[in-house]
A and B are shown apart, each in its own frame.
Chain A
Amino acid sequence: MTDLAPVAVGDSTVSASGPRRRAVMRPATIVAVVLVGITAVASLLPFGYLGVYSVIDQDGHLGGGTMSRLFQALPVWHQLANSALLAVGVSVVVTVLSALAGFAFAKLGFPFYRALLTAISAMILIPFPTILLPEYVNLSDLGLLDGFVGAALVYTATGLPFSTLLMTNYFRGVPDELVESGVVDGASHLRVFRSLLLPISGPALTTVAVLQFIAVWNDLLIALLFMPNTDNRTIAVGLATLAGTHQSNLDLLIAGSFISAVPAVCVYLFFNRYIVAGITGGIGK
């Protein structure tokens, strides 16, 4: 079984036994397609629901001005921009730091690295509610609740354990010879990392970045608690303020949710190809 960096697996249509075989339309196949088809439709339902209810008004007619009312109730563009700034920023930082750490854990064994890796991995299990209160107190004392920095630090720190684990497993799948060949040629390990490993890390880096982006984009709690300044509100928090007055704003909420879901979905669809390979490499064989 090869240890080479995983390429997009599962896309080849040539089976081991020869040229491509036509899908046999046995009853079993039809049942399988129906079964999976149901789950696929179920997956699309939420989006259909959002899309439909965003553009109809109370009486079920098209139009209805829901969108324009939403934009009047909330500074939608401003909040979307805040969300984007936070999500992209955190995503980049987490990707970089977890890649560096992952490489170090996988290929640059230093004293006690195993213990440190275990410790960081264990942080995945720490529930956020458990550290919520002390975290708030700490950030408050440090005066980091004014701008984006406090929330960004919390997002980054909570995203690092899982991302680092992914990157470490991914790099473990890369053959040692690759690193050693660079070293023998006189390159420093930093050079090796930059020039030899990064180019083939596309899938893993993409997976980490996308997962982190979605996590930050959709998060309500940390944004709500650690960025009390209304100027800095993300779209998630903005929608939550609408939810406060329940029933009357339900349609605005749905329209807003639809808008909020679009970027996250687009990001995912755009990088879909890499994510499968990234997950495979990130879990290891």
Chain B
Amino acid sequence: MSVDQEQVRTAVSSHVRRRPRRSALARERAITGIVFVVPATVLVTAFIFVPLAQAVYRSMTAWDGVTSTFVGLRNYTQLLAQPVFWQLVRNNGLILLSIPIGVAASFVVAYLLSLRIPFTPIFRAVLFLPAALSWVVVALISRAFFGPEGQLNWLLRSVGMAAAQHDWLGDQCTALIAVIVTFTVAVFGVNTTILLAGMATIDKSTIEAARVDGAGGYRVLRDVVAPASAKFISVVLLITVVQAFTGLFGLIYVMTGGGPGYSTTTLEFSIYQFAFATGDFGLAAALGIVLFLAVGAVVALRGLVFLSRRAR
């Protein structure tokens, strides 16, 4: 039976709705839809959702890998009571604060590129290249750069600021800054590429109209390009935050090992430290859940900020 006949028949019999629910077409569509999502759904459920649920349960137990006893929220209260925990939170917070700055810089550079200045195609290709490097490699290079005999100190010497030389990675105050700078520089290319891609979708005529009205580069940036890029800025912020909170193990491990002290240990890194150093897997699981909640909270906050922006 061809599709047309079926549609006519059911259209006649259900004159209220234009698209009949129970036609063979709609059924085939729904079934195909379900079949198409099943593989992805099964995999994600089995290997992400199930472990998550298990982690929630484990976070409320005292678990050493062999035996586990239910202890309720004791792990959490233990965590909150430790001053180290709050230093971890502070470290994550500092990293979080640096992200808008990095994204703003990316935005400016993306805008400059969108103006089709000379050499743009080369710049575009080159900018994204660091994304192909692993965090371990980035950390190695950065460690050499910030080291006592490294390039940063060498640079300072050569411009006559030898007194400013420092053991950047050995000092509790500056180590985290070094990590943050490394992170920001490393993700800069990816963020700029995404923002630039977004700017390419802006209707040229809108910009032309603004220029005709006498708007200079800055005004165009603020009133035309920025609002139009909102969705892309939102995505860039999201992936940068997620990366900062959950993907920096390699970077920190190779660059500073979390030290000196706990000055470069993030919540994420501490999970590995606690799990494998102390063997208290229940506590580690609790840390993991706290991390998850932290990510969720930041994302929710970001969502709220963008929602209110839209409403204006």
Question: Chain A interface (Cβ within 8 Å of chain B)?
Answer: 1, 6, 9-10, 13, 15-17, 23, 28-29, 32-33, 35-37, 39-40, 42-44, 46-47, 49-50, 97-98, 100-101, 103-105, 108-111, 113, 116, 120, 123-135, 137-138, 153-154, 156-158, 160-161, 164, 183-184, 186, 188-190, 193, 214, 217-221, 236, 239-240, 243, 250, 253-254, 257, 260-261, 264-265, 267-269, 272, 275-277, 279-280, 283-285
Q: Are B127 and A126 in contact (CB under 8 A)?
A: no
Partner of B197, one of A50, A267, A268, A279: A279
**At the interface, yes or no: B46 with Cβ under 8 Å from chain A?**
yes
Interface segment among B74-82, B171-179, B281-289: the answer is B281-289
Beyond A44-B126, A189-B28, A276-B200, 9 extra complex contacts between A and B, CB < 8 Å: A13-B116, A33-B117, A116-B41, A126-B48, A127-B245, A133-B55, A157-B44, A164-B40, A219-B134
Is there contact, CB below 8 Å, between A257 and B249? no
| Minimum C-beta distance from B62 to chain A (A) | 14
Given known A-B contacts A36-B117, A268-B129, A220 and B134 have beta carbons under 8 A apart: yes
Let me know if A190 and B51 touch, CB within 8 A.
no
Contact B44 A161 (CB under 8 A): yes
Which residues of A have CB within 8 Å of B232? Answer: 283
> Would you give 6 A-B contacts (Cβ < 8 Å), ordered by A?
A50-B137, A50-B141, A104-B32, A217-B134, A219-B134, A264-B133
Q: Which B residue's beta carbon lies closest to that of A14? A: B204
Q: Mark B226-249, 1 if CB is under 8 A from A, else 0.
A: 000001100100000010011101
Residues of B near A138 (CB, < 8 A) are: 50-51, 54
In the bound complex, what is the Cα–Cα distance between A272 and B30 (angstroms)?
36
A9 near B131 (CB under 8 angstroms)? Answer: no
Docked-complex contact B268 and A129, CB < 8 angstroms: yes
CB distance from A45 to the nearest CB of B (A): 8
A15 CB contacts on chain B under 8 angstroms: 204, 208
Q: Does B158 contact A (CB under 8 A)?
A: no
- Does B299 lie at the interface of the complex (its beta carbon under 8 Å from any beta carbon of A)? yes
Interface residue B159 (Cβ < 8 Å from any Cβ of A): no
B48 touches A284 (CB 8 A): no
What residues of chain B lie closer than 8 Å to A156, measured between beta carbons?
A: 43, 47
- Residue of chain A at shortest CB distance from B185: A42
Question: Which residue of B131, B140, B250 contacts A254 across the interface (Cβ within 8 Å)?
Answer: B140
User: Is B219 interfacial (CB 8 A cutoff)?
Assistant: no
**Chain B residue at smallest Cβ distance from A125:** B295
Shortest Cβ distance from residue A65 to the other chain B in the assembled complex, whole angstroms: 20
Q: How far is the CA of A28 from the CA of B193 in the complex (A)?
A: 22
Question: Chain B residues with Cβ under 8 A from A254's Cβ?
Answer: 140
Closest to A112 in B: B34
- Verify B117–A279 contact, CB threshold 8 A: no
Contact B40–A160 (Cβ < 8 Å): yes
**With an 8 A cutoff between CB atoms, is B39 at the interface?**
yes
Is B141 a contact of A283 with CB atoms below 8 Å?
Answer: no
Interface size class on chain B is: 35 or more
Chain B positions within 8 Å of A137 at CB level? 54
Residues of A within 8 Å of B188, CB to CB, are 39, 43
Q: Tally inter-chain residue pairs, CB-CB below 8 A.
A: 283
> Please, how many angstroms separate the alpha-carbon atoms of A153 and B47 in the complex?
8
The binding surface of chain B is classed by DSSP as helix
Q: Given known contacts A46-B141, A130-B288, A236-B134, is B47 in contact with A97 (CB within 8 Å)?
A: no
Instruction: From B44, B200, B242, B284, give the contact of A160 (CB < 8 A).
Output: B44
Chain A nearest CB: distance from B8 CB in Å?
A: 13
How far apart sit A184 and B25, CA to CA, in the bound complex (Å)? 10
A36 touches B123 (CB 8 A): yes
User: Is A39 within 8 A of B288, CB to CB?
Assistant: no
Partner of B246, one of A10, A127, A193, A257: A127
Q: Which of A108, A154, A157, A218 contacts B36 (CB 8 A)?
A: A108
Q: Which of B29, B46, B122, B203 contacts A108 (CB 8 A)?
A: B29
Across the interface, which residues of B come within 8 angstroms of A284, CB to CB?
231
Q: Which residues of A contact B135 (CB under 8 A)?
A: 218, 220
For the complex of A and B, 5 pairs with smallest distance between CB atoms: A108-B33, A218-B134, A157-B47, A130-B288, A127-B246
Binds A, one of B9-17, B93-101, B107-115: B107-115
Instruction: Collect the chain B residues with CB atoms within 8 Å of residue A134's CB.
Output: 50-52, 54-55, 58, 285
Whole-angstrom distance between the Cβ of A144 and the nearest chain B Cβ: 10
Q: Are A186 and B137 interface neighbours, CB within 8 A?
A: no
| B194 interface hit (Cβ, 8 Å) | yes
Inter-subunit contact B43/A97 (CB<8 Å)? yes
**Given known contacts A35-B112, A214-B132, A261-B133, A285 and B201 CB-to-CB distance under 8 angstroms:** yes
A190 cross-chain contacts in B, Cβ below 8 A: 32
Q: Does B85 contact A (CB under 8 A)?
A: no
Across the interface, do A108 and B291 meet the contact criterion of CB distance under 8 Å? Answer: no
In the complex, how many angstroms separate the beta carbon of A236 from the nearest chain B beta carbon? 6
Q: Looking across the interface, which residue of chain B has its beta carbon closest to that of A267? A: B132
Asked if B34 and A110 sit within 8 Å, CB to CB, the answer is yes
Tell me the complex Cα distance, A120–B49, Å: 9
Bound Cα distance from A123 to B115, whole angstroms: 37
> A137 to nearest B CB, angstroms?
8
> Among the listed A100, A108, A125, A131, which residue makes an inter-chain contact with B30, where contact means beta carbons less than 8 Å apart?
A108
Instruction: Assess the A127–B197 pair: CB atoms within 8 A.
Output: no
Shortest Cβ gap from B101 to chain A (Å): 15
